[in-house]
Structures are given as structure tokens and as C-alpha cells.
Amino acid sequence: MTDWLTMTAGDLGRGIGAGEIDPVALTRTYLDAIDAHPLRDKIYVTVTEGRAMAEARAAQARAQAGRRLSPLDGVPISWKDLFDSAGTLTGAGSALLRDRVPARDAQVLRTATALGTVCLGKTHMSELAFSGLGLNPMTATPPCVNDADAVPGGSSSGAAASVAFGLAACAIGSDTGGSVRIPAAWNDLVGLKTTSGRVSLEGVVPLALRFDTVGPLARSVEDAALALAALEGRAAPDLGDAALTGRRLAVLETCAFDDIRDTPREAFEGAVERLRGAGAQVETLAVPELQEAMDLSAVLYCVEAYGLWRDVIEADPEAMYPPIRARFEAGRSFSGPDYVAAWAAVERVRAVWAEATAGFDAVLCPTAPILPPNLHRLETDGDYYVTQNLLTLRNTRIGNLMGLCALSLPTGVPSCGISLMGRPGGEHALLRLGAAAEAALA
């Protein structure tokens, strides 16, 4: 039964379907593992044991009657603490929302529950999702599976830790500038950033609505595909015969390798060679216009974030971690015309990007150009905090700015991921490509 804690969600679902795994025993195993884990309270904000066991008993009855609702019916998963859950504190990692208890579930949680997934509880996150580091002195900083002295990546930090430490079969997070892909990469998981607008944001605490997306952190590409299907209420793509032979991949040279550290660079280069060895055609690609969009990140993100949260922040500014508050308050320095002009420029660059990448199945880059930074230094060195936070999200932000779907895969080198960026709305094609890449990288 302890093997259940390391199995993929897909394998657990198949075991339930075959009558080999009892959903009640499976959920109890996960709940017991959570309760016994010394880092429990740094990973989970709330464990919803009553809800989980009730959902597991319902899944058990369906399985016994041969009426399972989906491949993940009866599989226990965790939810980032910005997805509303009825009657359960949903604070988005912020003391500003310490008393916030929603009356109903977020749409994605309702949809996944209707397909039989079991909600284990809510996981810790960066404050209001505005950091890629995962550091949160206001609530809790979850652990990194590869380095006890480092941050785990954010903002879906507890989501990644819940899976990496065997305390959830899969996790649901959100990604506004890299918040699924960074913690996935630094904890050796698969992370899927969906296209903006594809997955419902109803009942999701916002950061920047034009960039916010919902996506899974998982142990395999198949699990990411199954979780996306559960979030959307649709069928998952068939990954069975995915192959790299004849696929055209582009290594993005613009921006992505500036200031990169040796270990992520070498891990990426080794991964690309394995993809090439499995039959992929790999070329280099420069899109110099991309830099214009990257340079507009501050106005695009900070204006929207501050516009959404200004009144709440100004009512209780001391409730925030000062470096996070400063990121929000940076939105004050831009005007409405600045924001409108920035979006017009980004739309122009998106058109250039679409033309430049049209002949490729995916664009590749290192998920993060650095390894997880040291927790203590981030807390005590303000300049280090700022530079590491910006560098952490630099590569992943490309996918958000260009409006793409993107997938981070482990390279086999601890805390080093490779990012595959697809086309807007092209999640199913990207997941098929990702399954083939995963096999080559393994």
C-alpha cells in the first residue's frame, strides 16, 4: 500500500478500475501519510479529511457497481489554496485573506469532483501568487524535494511539494508567469501551463486575469493529460502512439540563455541531445522582437495586479511581506496609457512569434535558468531576492506573454526542467509531443 504513494495517478485509476485498489483504502493511506509527515504543515494549509473520505466512499461504491465517472475517479489530489472550496478557508497564501471562507467550490473543483476526484486539501503558496520562488514568511514556505535549504519554486509551491513528497497523487495549481512550471521543474515533476482562457477561473483568487491560468503538477505527462480532462470535463488526448520521429523542435536563443547557470544549461543540452537521438529535428530560433514584450512585463503584470488588489492592500499593508507588497505597489508608477500601449505592443509581438514558430511543433528552452535559491539568503538579502525572483520567472514568462500553452518536463538532472512551448489552445498536441519527449528523456 505504501507503493500507492509513488504511483502515477493514471496507474492508481487503472488499479481502481481493475478492482485491485480500493478508493477508501487509497485515500486513507494518503491521509495517514500526510498526518505522519514532519513537513505536513509546511505543505498543506488545510487537510479536508471529512470531504476526502466521503468522496472516497462514493468512488468505492461506483467502482464496485462498474459505474466509474472518469479515469481519475477515486484518485486523491491536492488543490492550491487559491481555489475556492465551500466552507474551507481559502486565503491564497496571504494574511490579507485570513478570514476568507467561500460558500461554494471553484468551477474547476466542482467539475473535477463531479468526475470522481478526491480532494485531499489545500496547499500553501506564494503570497497572492506573486512570486516564482515559493518563499512565504507570512504563512509557510514549503520544502524543495532536492534541497532542504532551498525554496521549492512558486507560486504553486505546496502543490509541487504535495506530489514530490508522496502526499498527493497529483496537484492542481495556477500559472500566471511560471507558477506551475517552476515548482514542477525544481521538484522533478511534470507541469502544464494551459492557454489563457481555456480553463475556467471562476472561484479562483486572481492575480492578473489576462495571464492567470489553471494547470496540473504531476508525476507523468499522462497524469497531466488526465488532470486537464478532469478540470475541463472533457476526454483526455490519446497518448498511446506518440513519437518524436519527424517532429520539428526549435531551441529558442532569444532571452532564454542570458545569465543561465551551468547546471541548468548542461541539463538542457543533454535533454535536447536525447530528443534528437529519438528522431526529433532540432533547430535554433531567434525572435529578437520577443525582447520588447519581455521589457514590458512590469507594466503588464504590476498594473493589473495592483489594480485588482489596491484597496485590500492599502487597507492593511503591514499584513504583507514587504518584497511582495513592493511588487504590487510598482503598479502605481504606470499610467493607463502605458498599460494600453504595452498590450498593443505585446499583440504585435505575438503575431511575429506566431509567424516565426509556425513550422515547429514546439519551442524549447530551459524551464528555469537557475537552481532553487537558498532560503536563508532570500530572507536576509533584499537585492538577491529581487534578482533571483526575476531570473526564476524569466523563461517561463515567455509562454505567458506570448499566450501559449507550455509543458515542463524533468531532464533527469535534479531541479532542472526542459520547457516545451506549444501553440495557443494546442494542449492536446503538446501533451502528445510531451509523452514522446518524456519517453526519450527517461
Tens digits of residue pLDDT in 13-66: 999 999 999 999 999 999 999 999 999 999 999 999 999 999 999 999 999 999
Question: Does residue 313 fall inside a structural domain?
Answer: no
Q: Say which of 42, 70, 78, 80 is annotated catalytic.
A: 80
CATH number, position 359: 3.90.1300.10
335 and 279 together in one domain: yes
* Number of domains within the chain: 2
Q: Is the pTM of this model over 0.75?
A: yes
Q: What is the pLDDT of residue 245?
A: 97
Task: Please indicate whether residue 85 is annotated as part of the active site.
Answer: no
Quick one: 225 and 373 in the same domain?
no
Q: Give a yes or no: residue 114 inside a domain.
A: yes
Hey, what amino acid is at 40? Answer: R
Q: Tell me, yes or no, whether 239 lies in a domain.
A: no
The predicted structure's pLDDT at residue 191 = 99
Identify the active-site residue in 156, 162, 179, 297: 179
> Does residue 316 fall inside a structural domain?
no
At residue 343, φ and ψ (nearest 5 deg) are: -65, -35
Q: Is 122 a catalytic residue?
A: no
Tens of pLDDT, residue by residue over 428-439, are 999 999 999 999
Task: Judge whether residue 2 has pLDDT over 80.
Answer: no
The DSSP string of 161-181 is: HHHHTTS-S-EEEEESSSTTH
- Residue 271 domain flag: yes
Residues 207, 96 within the same domain: yes
406 and 331 in a common domain: yes
Report the chain's mean pLDDT, rounded to a whole number: 97
The answer to whether residues 46 and 181 belong to one domain is: yes
- What pLDDT was estimated at residue 1? 66
Q: Are residues 147 and 280 in the same domain?
A: no
Q: What is the pLDDT of residue 390?
A: 86
- 278 and 226 belong to one structural domain: no
Instruction: State yes or no: is 80 an active-site residue.
Output: yes
Residues 203 and 263 in one domain: no
Residue 405 burial (CB count, 10 A): 27
411 DSSP 8-state letter: -
| Same domain as 259, residue 408 | yes
Q: What is the mean pLDDT of residues 105-116?
A: 98
Q: Would 302 be classed as within a structural domain?
A: no
Mean pLDDT calculated for residue range 127-150: 98
Active-site option among 155, 174, 196, 220: 155
Residues 284 and 226 in one domain: no
Least confident of 73-77, 291-295, 382-386: 382-386
**Identity of the residue numbered 119:** C
Give yes or no: residues 436 and 353 share one domain.
yes
% of the chain with per-residue pLDDT over 90: 99
Q: Per-residue pLDDT tens for 343-390?
A: 999 999 999 999 999 999 999 999 999 999 999 999 999 999 989 998
User: Is the residue at 309 inside a domain?
Assistant: no
With both helix axes pointing from N to C terminus, report the angle between 297-315 and 382-401 in degrees, rounded to the nearest 10.
120
Percentage, residues of the chain above pLDDT 70: 100
Map 73-94 to HEC letters.
Answer: CCCEEEEECCECECCECCCCCC
- Provide the grid cell at 414: 535534479
Q: Could you tell me if 212 and 289 lie in one domain?
A: no
Range of the domain at 338: 248-295+322-441
Residue 313 grid cell: 492592500
Query: CA nearest 409: which of 391, 390, 435, 371?
Result: 435
Which residues in 313-346 are b (16+ Cβ under 10 Å) and which e? beeeeebbbebbbebbbbbeebeeeebeebbebb
- Which residue reads 545569465 in cell numbers? 259
Please check whether residue 306 lies inside any domain of the structure.
Answer: no
Last residue of a domain, one of 232, 260, 281: 232
The CB density around residue 53, as the number of other CB atoms within 10 Å, is 16
